[in-house]
Amino acid sequence: MPTKRRRKHDNDKQELRSRLRESATFPRSVIAEIQRAARTGIYDIRGFGAKRHVPTFDDLLFLGASMSRYPLEGYRERCDTNVTLGTRYAKKPIELKIPVTVAGMSFGALSAPAKEALGRGATIAGTSTTTGDGGMTPEEREHSKILVYQLLPSRYGMNPDDLRRADAIEVVVGQGAKPGGGGMLLGQKISPRVAAMRDLPAGIDQRSACRHPDWTGPDDLKIKIEELREITNWEKPIYIKIGAARTYYDTALAVKAGADVVVLDGMQGGTAATQDVFIEHVGIPTLPALRQAVEALQDLDMHRKVQLIVSGGIRTGADVAKALAMGADAVSIGVAALIALGDNGPEFEDDYNRLDSSAGYYDDWHEGRDPAGISTQDDELAARFDPVLGGRRLANYLRVLTLEAQTLARANGKSHVHNLEPEDLVALTIEAAAMAKVPLAGTDWIPGHGKF
């Protein structure tokens, strides 16, 4: 082709390409999902939490101190961080050094060394870790000074000896990633050990129930909780974990059912394996849910008497401090803890690429092929993960979260992180102001309350 004609041809092609217009209704990601659904005939299952944008703690700011408020000296004046959980009924409440706990994640979803590392890290940092939908492993108990034992609908591995070995019991009603959904563990991860602990055939796709088998509502949950207390001699704090849905009423009913502690998981909370449609479209964000839970506790005169732990998208000390300022007693981390252990590490980029993913994007935790050796039951992959190093990293991260939260608390003149209060906060957006019920920055306006 002569040069002139080739140039015209190239220009025409470029013009045509630049006229390509992506549909807002059918962007390439949606088209790809329709194509995937048509090819496979099954919904997309994945790990991680919600990926859509929702109002978060990032939409809040602390005011700090100035003329009208008096700050504390950084590093020199004390800012305490200890938390006591379970003061309502338990003979042996839990004492944590820091206001950050490690959320429930199952042996099955995670490898045994990864569970061990969570216990090691939490123990070094002076906090608790939590079992999951698969029972308690000896490794986990051994390496966790404070271990919360979950009672889930499936009751896999549930037994009275582990109940008595636990430091607290968490009745799981729901989780933020899927309020109203049960657990899921696909066949690739049902290794012989996992199968034996769950009394299931190896290699099947396990779908746990979403409802408890022996109670249906707050009235009989109250009796169930009394049973757990009787079995454990009224020693252990009993938590009720709820996914963020109708949070005001769910929190009030958890208090009525006799909870010592309410654990509230917002929609950004992680999961090992759930349908994408469930993760992204069910439940409400952590920010408004937290406010509703605190209001419910205050209306019942139970705020600080029944402790509140909030989870779902906690990443930084700022998130911790803001959650506490809004009225939580502690926060809990799941996805962030896995990242601290080494999940999505850039050193595994080539491996992620082989799985058609990339460091920072990997969420196929249900497939059991995790290059970091964390969300797997494959012995070779699990052997890549060093539980001692992983535990150390988690402890470091937990300490950074705590130091950051203390920095913010001192800046607001608080000698304990629990002294942070909503009055220290303002919102950057109208949405966050409405959801958190704190004023839009530079105004005294809370949407729905008074005039701008």
Partner 1 sequence: MSQRYDLAQGSTRELNSWLHHYNGTGESAAWQVVNPNGAHNLAVGLDAPITVDIEGHVGYYCAGMNKYAQVTVHGNAGPGVAENMMSGLVRITGSASQYAGATAHGGLLVIEGDASSRCGISMKGVDIVVHGSIGHMSAFMAQSGRLVVCGDAGEALGDSLYEARLYVRGNVAGLGADCVEKPMKDKHKLELEKLLCEAGITGADAGEFRRFGSARKLYNFNVDNADAY
- Kindly list the residues in this chain that would bind partner 1 in the complex (CB under 8 A): 40-42, 154-155, 158-160, 163, 187, 198-201, 203-205, 209, 213-215, 220, 223-224, 226-227, 230-234
DSSP element (H, E) containing 162 = helix 160-165
SS3 category, 227:
helix
187 or 360: whose CB is closer to partner 1? 187
Rounded to a whole number of angstroms, the minimum distance from the CB of residue 265 to partner 1 is 23
- Nearest distance from C-beta of residue 32 to partner 1, angstroms: 19
SS3 (DSSP) at 170: strand
Residue (237 or 317) nearer to partner 1, CB: 237
Task: Output the smallest distance, CB 39 to partner 1, in A.
Answer: 11
Among residues 75, 273, 258, 302, which one has the least CA distance to residue 178? 273
Closer CB to partner 1, 223 or 277, in the complex: 223
Give min distance, CB of 154 to partner 1, in A: 7
Which secondary structure element, helix H or strand E, spans residue 242, and what is its range?
A: strand 238-243
Minimum CB distance to partner 1 smaller for 104 or for 182 = 182
The nearer residue to partner 1, 155 or 193, going by C-beta atoms, is 155
Choice between 182 and 285, CB closer to partner 1? 182
Phi/psi-derived region of residue 329, left when phi > 0, alpha when psi is between -120 and 50, beta in every other case:
alpha
Residues across the chain: 452
Distance CA 265, CA 252 (A): 15
Cα dihedral 313→120→159→240 (10° resolution): -30
C-alpha–C-alpha distance, residues 59 and 431, integer Å: 9
CB 197 to partner 1: min, Å: 11
- Dihedral pair phi/psi, residue 30, rounded to 5°: -70, -40
Its sign, for the CA torsion 170, 173, 178, 181, is positive
Name which of 35 and 353 has its Cβ closer to partner 1.
35
Taking the C-alpha atoms of residue 43 and residue 69, their distance in angstroms, rounded to an integer, is: 53
Q: Shortest Cβ distance from residue 290 to partner 1 (Å)? A: 33
Closest contact distance (angstroms) between CB of 240 and partner 1 is 17
Instruction: Let me know: does 86 contact 237? Beta carbons within 8 Å.
Output: yes
Q: Compute the least distance from the CB of residue 396 to partner 1, in Å.
A: 39
Instruction: Please identify, using beta-carbon distances, which residue of 77 and 199 lies nearer to partner 1.
Output: 199
* Selection from 109, 439, 58 nearest residue 272 by Cα: 109
Residue 180, burial from CB neighbour count under 10 angstroms (0-12, 13-18, 19+): middle
Structure letter (DSSP) for residue 71: P
